[in-house]
Amino acid sequence: MTEVSNNIFKIDVPLPGNPLCSTNAYIIRDSERSLIIDTGFDLPVTAETIHKAVLALGLSLKNVDFVITHMHPDHVGGVHALADAECRVFAHCRPDGTNASEVAGFNEQLRLAEMVYKNAEKPVRGKNGEAGLRTAFPPYITSWGQPKQGYSQLQEGDILTAGGYHFRCIETPGHDVSEICLFDEGSGIFISGDHVLKNISPNIIDINFDDGNLNRYLQSLKKVRDLPVSLVLPAHGELFIDLKSRCDDLSAHHAERLENVLSLVESGCEMLYEITSGCAWNTGGKLWQELEPGMKFFAYGETIAHLSYLLDAGVITKIEKEAVPGFMRKFSLQT
Ligand SMILES: [Zn+2]
Ligand SMILES: [Zn+2]
């Protein structure tokens, strides 16, 4: 645990077996009610790590409230095991924990994702192509316990006060529809969740082809880019200072990926599999065929987000043939 600013402590909550390695949870210490921002997976190690940090600061879990930056399992998973009945759990989601604009739960999303994945891999069905997507994700990734008291809804402009800070809630949908950031004007501290990370480009996924998440994400980058920030506290990886240039880097990354996808379509790639496997991914030297099903799923989801952005912009068009089942779709240049 490290004190990153007066009364703000960072805890590295381990994410076993996950390439992200850990989630940064933050404790904002207060003599009345402290705040804990984010948790980790729904695993015993999450509760153990956070509880230990709370005790080390001389606090009690009875006197803390929680803020969940978004409804992903590495952030919300552990909160139900930590939140005492009298604690409040703030999040930008429905009281039942689903995302505000989500029609179906995570399992339904996963079902759709499985169809995308299986159909996309059909042309190359081999060892990896046969593997079911669901087996790629352990159970704590697809479902997690809910706090008995439900969630207290956070909305744009709400203020959370603790440790001498007044954090304003900023809705930043894109990486997840429920994503929020927190900004304290007085100190310039910006809690960025997964919206802006220093070393990783947050995964932007469209499963339905019409979610519009990339457009949302790019708008949400613009929304926070010019805030007078002195320190960014992200949910993964290192802390950083220059929010503006990081937002610009992430926008440029997506512009480059859009170019990449478009040039593949222009060169005659039509199938989702061809386009996704043809994009430049940071695979650590692995060939597409060697990638884990989970990694491929994120790559497909991200490619669909870029394709649907180009579809919305009218740059490409979608071809569906009766003989092509499910989510196997074709793309070509609009003439
Ligand atoms: Zn996330
Ligand atoms: Zn995360």
More confident of the two residues 284 and 222: 222
More confident of the two residues 272 and 48: 48
Q: What tokens appear for 219 in the block?
A: 């708008």
3-state secondary structure of 265: helix
The neighbour count for residue 39, using CB atoms within 10 Å, is: 29
pLDDT of residue 102: 46
Q: Which residues surround ligand 1, an ion (CB under 5 A)?
A: 72, 194
The pLDDT-based confidence of 122 (bands split at 50, 70, 90) is: low
For β-strands 159-162 and 165-171, DSSP reports them as antiparallel
Q: How many residues does the chain have?
A: 335
Q: Which residues of 277-286 are buried (b: 16+ CB within 10 A; e: fewer)?
A: bbbebeeeee
If you measure from the C-alpha of residue 75 to the centroid of ligand 2, how many angstroms do you get, rounded to a whole number? 6
pLDDT of residue 318: 77
The neighbour count for residue 216, using CB atoms within 10 Å, is: 18
Phi, psi angles (nearest 5°) of residue 164: 90, 5
d(CA 99, CA 106): 9
Lowest mean pLDDT of 149-163, 194-208, 211-225, 317-331, name the range: 317-331
If you measure from the C-alpha of residue 175 to the centroid of ligand 2, how many angstroms do you get, rounded to a whole number? 9
3-state secondary structure of 160: strand
The pLDDT-based confidence of 322 (bands split at 50, 70, 90) is: very low
pLDDT tens digit string along 277-294?
Answer: 899 888 888 888 788 777
91 in Cβ contact with 71 (< 8 Å): yes
Average pLDDT, rounded, for the chain: 86
Ligand nearest to the CA of 39: 2
Ligand nearest to the CA of 234: 2
If you measure from the C-alpha of residue 278 to the centroid of ligand 2, how many angstroms do you get, rounded to a whole number? 26
Task: Name every residue whose Cβ is closer than 8 Å to that of residue 275 and which is 6 or more positions away in sequence.
Answer: 261, 264, 265, 269, 303, 307, 331
pLDDT tens digit string along 11-69?
Answer: 999 999 888 999 999 999 999 999 999 999 999 999 999 999 999 999 999 999 999 99
Ligand nearest to the CA of 175: 1
pLDDT above 60 for 156? yes
Burial class (CB in 10 A: 0-12, 13-18, 19+), 122: middle
If you measure from the C-alpha of residue 201 to the centroid of ligand 1, how many angstroms do you get, rounded to a whole number? 11
If you measure from the C-alpha of residue 140 to the centroid of ligand 2, how many angstroms do you get, rounded to a whole number? 14
Amino acid identity for residue 319 in this structure: I
d(CA 224, CA 247): 8
Taking CA atoms, 122 is separated from 28, 70, 77, 172, 303, in Å, by 49, 33, 33, 36, 17
If you measure from the C-alpha of residue 70 to the centroid of ligand 1, how many angstroms do you get, rounded to a whole number? 7
Q: Which CATH superfamily, name and number, covers 2-102+144-250?
A: Ribonuclease Z/Hydroxyacylglutathione hydrolase-like (3.60.15.10)
Lowest mean pLDDT of 37-51, 144-158, 198-212, name the range: 198-212
pLDDT tens digit string along 107-116?
Answer: 555 666 666 6
If you measure from the C-alpha of residue 297 to the centroid of ligand 1, how many angstroms do you get, rounded to a whole number? 15
Question: What pTM, to 2 d.p., does this model score?
Answer: 0.90
If you measure from the C-alpha of residue 75 to the centroid of ligand 1, how many angstroms do you get, rounded to a whole number? 7
Ligand nearest to the CA of 203: 1
pLDDT of residue 119: 62
d(CA 178, CA 155): 10
pLDDT of residue 320: 66
More confident of the two residues 318 and 128: 318
If you measure from the C-alpha of residue 37 to the centroid of ligand 2, how many angstroms do you get, rounded to a whole number? 12
If you measure from the C-alpha of residue 55 to the centroid of ligand 1, how many angstroms do you get, rounded to a whole number? 27
Domain boundaries, the chain: 2-102+144-250, 106-140+257-333
More confident of the two residues 184 and 291: 184
Q: What tokens appear for 43 in the block?
A: 């695993």
Ligand nearest to the CA of 235: 2
Ligand nearest to the CA of 75: 2
